Amino acid sequence: MKKKIDELRPEYDLSQLKGCVRGKYAARAQQGTNIILLAPDVAEIFHDDASVNEALRTLIRLSGQKSQHAAAAAG
């Protein structure tokens, strides 16, 4: 088996890179996500998205409100 040649430099000078912009695609990445941060005490109870969604759907049913998506489907 051939030994691979390590082509990495021990250190890189980032100032030599041309056309690099910090956060260039950050806005585009955020458009496709819906991130909500939980407070630490809430996160202790709800460990994943499924448990949060289940609790919120229960709250919605108990409040008698309908989501915009459900209202549009009922039309």
Which residue range is the domain that position 43 belongs to? 37-75
Q: Which residues of the chain have pLDDT under 70?
A: 67, 69-75
How much is the pLDDT for 33? 79
How much is the pLDDT for 4? 84
How much is the pLDDT for 75? 60
Domain assignment of residue 2, yes or no: no
Domain assignment of residue 22, yes or no: no
SS (H, E, C) the chain: CCCCCCCCCCCCCHHHCCCCCCCCCHHHHHHCCCCCCCCHHHHHHCCCHHHHHHHHHHHHHHHCCCCHHHHHHHC
Q: What is the pLDDT of the chain when averaged over all its residues?
A: 85
Number of domains within the chain: 1
Domain assignment of residue 29, yes or no: no
pTM for this structure? 0.46
Percent of the chain with pLDDT over 90: 35
Domain assignment of residue 47, yes or no: yes
